[in-house]
Structure 1
Amino acid sequence: MPDDKSLGNAYKNTEEGSFGVLNFRDLGASSADNAENRKYVKEGLIFRSATMDNMSQEDVDAFIEAHKINTILDLRTGMEGRDGLPIDKSFPTSALDSLNTSSLVDDDASSVKAETSEMYDTTGRGTLVRKKYRVDFAGKNFQRYCVFASCPFHLKLYIIYLMTFCQRKKAAYVIGKKVLTPMGVNKMYKEFATYCQAEIREALMVFTKPQNYPIEIHCTQGKDRTGMVSALILSIAGVPQDIIVSDYAKTQKGLAPIYDDMLEEVRRSGLSEDFAQAPPQNMRDLLDFLNKEYGSIDNYLDVIGFGKDLRDRVRSVICV
């Protein structure tokens, strides 16, 4: 997964996207893109995109005014992103203590990390609270039980050596070349579903509270992690799988303005070219895997602890 620091100039210089944000779309509008023009998800409630780090302050102000974003769900790791950016003035990135999920759903005991900012509402309706929830999607569980566990002994020792001497970038390159590239994007999605269940649940919890909407989901490219969370939300809303696949495939066009830069960056990260692409088969195979392995996507959500009551809360807000 390319680093958004390296792709910064490419994002900044393109005229495509929404206020400097690439791969941006409204999941409500995307879910209605079908032959019957049937709507499944209300428009203006859930948006997805690539990184927001390259927005100017003018972009941020216009973006909030246009889309009324109240919550950002950032799915990147701690190594991704930059600090002190214009987006942070409205959605601060200073770390706060973990909030018990009772602040999201009163009867649930899980937790997520939140960052909040109170912004004065000039319409006279009171104080707005804009929030950023950061969920390290490909976090410790994925790194430990999938990436590190799949390394032969000598590679484990080498990675430990690199990390011990603070050569994190080189360690990331080795993991990209020796682990993730042989795995491939298609299989990586299935490994996400297996080893990132706690993180996926944390991300989905953000959608259970009506006050969080409208919500913007992003990672670096808005392709893999964002694509998976978006697919699960659309599934909860009853969107047919072919429409979910179609929404995912729009990423190919959404990232076209920076494709050459992405391609160069994935190579520098030790990754193969498929990590810069979003063919529909990736999402189709993930959905097929969930249905085959768990019986249905609802069963998968039950397994990870996002049961029917929680799904009903989401549906009550987002469904047409």
Structure 2
Amino acid sequence: MPWLGLEGAANARDVGGLPASDGRVTAERTLLRSDNLQGLTPADVKLLVDDYDLRTVVDLRSTHEVESEGPGPLRAVERVRHVHLSVLPERGEATDAAADALFTRREKALARYPDDPMCALYLGYLEDRPESVVGALRTIAESPGAALVHCAAGKDRTGVVVALSLTVAGVEREAVVADYAASGTRIEGIMARLRASPTYAPDLEERDDDDRHRPRAATMEAFLTQVDERYRGALTWLAKNGFDDTDAQRLREKLLA
């Protein structure tokens, strides 16, 4: 797994090198994913902008998170475009650290898929904010250089958007699931950073078991299977929400070496 080794992020990596069904692989330094970018050091910013040619940041956090955290270091870089596309309903002070609270506030969440609460939450992104999901994929495809997708932890909201992007590109499902699950190896660092933030710490005060937050391969397998069964696949769902064949082809060309 090509981790970026940033000082100010715990879950930043390049999704290049993943095998696609046509024999190609995903291009390196093209699609990056990360947890919160607020703690990036000057060296981190230089690495991303100069070495990775970062040109676009896709921020999946809620409006509350963005306003509470304030502008991060990359905001000062004029050549980097920032696109805010929350995949959570804009109700109250929602964060992905408060996933349990989302379930209790919205009874229909677990009804979507009672076998896996996180899969139920992911399906909610598609139901509640399809325009943000589609916008994120289109923004990745249109980026003149590398695009970086992030949320707070870089595992759930980011995991879904990256998984859908890779699926459109034709990446083998096993590789899509493995990329998602890789965030589990960084869960201690991810949670330590969230607990150090006034924005996220209150949501985590009574939930100190890091393993509870660890992404599991079975969750992404269930999510992709549900997308197939409910919507006849990611491409069909995307097409119904305005992401047409031209968009899909542009994203494939962007991501495949």
Distance of 1:209 and 1:261 partners within structure 2: 31
User: What is the TM-score with the length of structure 1 in the denominator?
Assistant: 0.65
Shift in alpha-carbon separation, 1:272–1:198, aligned structure 2, 3 A: farther
Q: Where does 1:28-177 land on structure 2 (aligned, <5 Å)? A: 28-29=16-17, 31-32=18-19, 39-81=24-66, 82-90=69-77, 117=78, 129-140=79-90, 143=91, 175-176=101-102
- Whichever residue aligns with residue 184 of structure 2, its letter is Q
Match of 2:225 in 1: 288
Counterpart selection for 2:178 from 246, 251, 259: 246
- 1:30-69 Cα offsets, whole Å, 9 max, x none, are x24x9x9x64211111100101101123332233223221
Structure 1 letter corresponding to 2:246: D
| Structure-2-length-normalised TM-score | 0.79
**CA contact 1:208–1:314 (8 Å) conserved in 2:** yes
Q: Which whole-Å CA distance do the structure 1 matches of 2:65 and 2:206 have between them?
A: 13
* Counterparts in 2 of 1:49 and 1:271: CA distance versus 1, 3 Å: same
Query: Are 1:299 and 2:232 an aligned pair?
Result: no
Report the alpha carbon displacement of residue 207 of structure 1 after superposing the two structures with TM: 2.3
Distance 1:238 1:174, change over 3 A: closer
The change in CA–CA distance for 1:274 and 1:200 in structure 2 (over 3 A counts) is: farther
Matched with 1:308 is 245
Write the letter of the residue equivalent to 1:19: E
Equivalent-residue separation in structure 1 for 2:169 and 2:62 (angstroms): 28
Return the offset for 1:262.
Answer: 5.5
Q: Which amino acid aligns with 1:179?
A: R
Contact 1:267 1:273 in 2 (8 A): no
Deviations 1:230-252 (A, max 9, x none): 00110111011111111000010
Aligned residues: 236
Asked whether 1:190 is paired with 2:123, we answer: yes
Q: Does 1:206 align with 2:131?
A: no
Deviation at 1:225, TM superposition (A): 0.8
SS at match of 1:28: coil
Preserved CA contact (<8 Å) 1:177 1:271: no
Partner of 1:19: 7
Q: CA deviation at 1:280?
A: 0.8
Against the structure 1 CA distance between its residues 315 and 268, is the aligned structure 2 distance closer, same or farther, given a 3 Å change threshold?
same
**Deviating more after overlay: 240-249 vs 63-72:** 63-72
Q: Which of residues 231, 249, 252 is equivalent to 2:163?
A: 231
Residue in 1 aligned with 2:150? 218
Matching residue of 1:94: none
The code of the aligned residue for 1:202 comes to G
Identity %, equivalent residues: 21
Alignment root-mean-square deviation, CA? 3.1
Q: Which residue of structure 2 lines up, in the alignment, with residue 4 of structure 1? A: none
1:210-258 deviation line (CA, Å, top 9, x unaligned): 52x2111100000111001100110111011111111000010133324
Q: What SS does the corresponding residue of 2:86 show, helix, strand or coil?
A: coil
Structure 1 gap ranges (5+) = 1-15, 91-116, 118-128, 144-162
Task: Name the CA distance, whole Å, in 2 between partners of 1:270 and 1:219.
Answer: 20
C-alpha distance in 2 between matches for 1:258 and 1:291: 30
Matches of 2:209 and 2:203 in 1, distance apart? 7
- Alpha carbons 1:235, 1:241 under 8 Å: kept: yes
For 1:178, give the aligned amino acid. Answer: T
Quick check: 238-247 or 80-89, which moved more?
80-89
Check 1:238–1:269 CA distance in 2 against 1; reply closer, same or farther (3 A cut).
farther
Taking the aligned partners of 2:6 and 2:192, their CA distance within structure 1 comes to 20
> Which residue matches 1:148?
none
2-structure distance, mates of 1:198, 1:40: 28
